[in-house]
Amino acid sequence: MKYETLLKEINSLGKVSFIGTTTLGYKIPLVRIGQGQPKALIVASVHAREYITTILLNNLLASYRKKIAIDYVPMLNIDGVLLATNGLSIVKDDCLKDKLLKLNGGSYDFSLWKADINGVDINVNFDADWGKGAQNITYPAPENFIGNAPESQLETKSIVKVLENNYPLVAAYHSKGEVVYWGYGDNYNHYLYAKKYADFVGYELTKSHGSVGGLKDYYALKYQGLGITIEVGEDRFSHPYPLSELDNLIKKHTGSIELLAQMGEEIGHLYGESYTTS
Applying CB under 5 A, which residues contact Zn ion?
A: 47, 50, 174
Half-sphere exposure of 40 (CA within 13 A, CB side): 27
Q: How far is CA 200 from the centre of its chain?
A: 20
Cβ proximity to Zn ion: between 29 and 233 the closer is 233
State the minimum distance, in angstroms, from the CB of residue 262 to Zn ion: 26
Please say whether the beta carbons of 70 and 171 come within 8 A: no
SS3 call for 26: coil
Cβ proximity to Zn ion: between 50 and 155 the closer is 50
Single-letter amino acid code for the residue at 192: L
State the minimum distance, in angstroms, from the CB of residue 156 to Zn ion: 14
State the minimum distance, in angstroms, from the CB of residue 174 to Zn ion: 3
The contacts of residue 229 (CB under 8 Å, 6+ apart) are 171, 172, 173, 174, 180, 181, 182, 208, 214, 215, 216
Cβ proximity to Zn ion: between 217 and 258 the closer is 217
Single-letter amino acid code for the residue at 115: A
Cβ proximity to Zn ion: between 39 and 174 the closer is 174
Cβ proximity to Zn ion: between 50 and 265 the closer is 50
Cβ proximity to Zn ion: between 74 and 168 the closer is 74
Question: What distance in Å separates the CA atoms of residue 215 and residue 238, rounded to the nearest whole number?
Answer: 24
Closest residue to Zn ion using C-beta atoms: 174
State the minimum distance, in angstroms, from the CB of residue 49 to Zn ion: 8
Please name which of 73, 41, 85, 46 lies closest in space to residue 174, comparing C-alpha atoms: 46
State the minimum distance, in angstroms, from the CB of residue 47 to Zn ion: 4
Cβ proximity to Zn ion: between 43 and 160 the closer is 43
Beta strands 169-174 and 70-73: pairing type? unpaired
State the minimum distance, in angstroms, from the CB of residue 124 to Zn ion: 10
SS3 call for 187: strand
State the minimum distance, in angstroms, from the CB of residue 45 to Zn ion: 9
Please name which of 128, 270, 154 lies closest in space to residue 208, comparing C-alpha atoms: 128
Question: What distance in Å separates the CA atoms of residue 112 and residue 13, rounded to the nearest whole number?
Answer: 29
* Total number of residues shown for the chain: 278
Query: DSSP of 213-233, one letter per residue?
Result: S-HHHHHHHH-SSEEEEEE-S
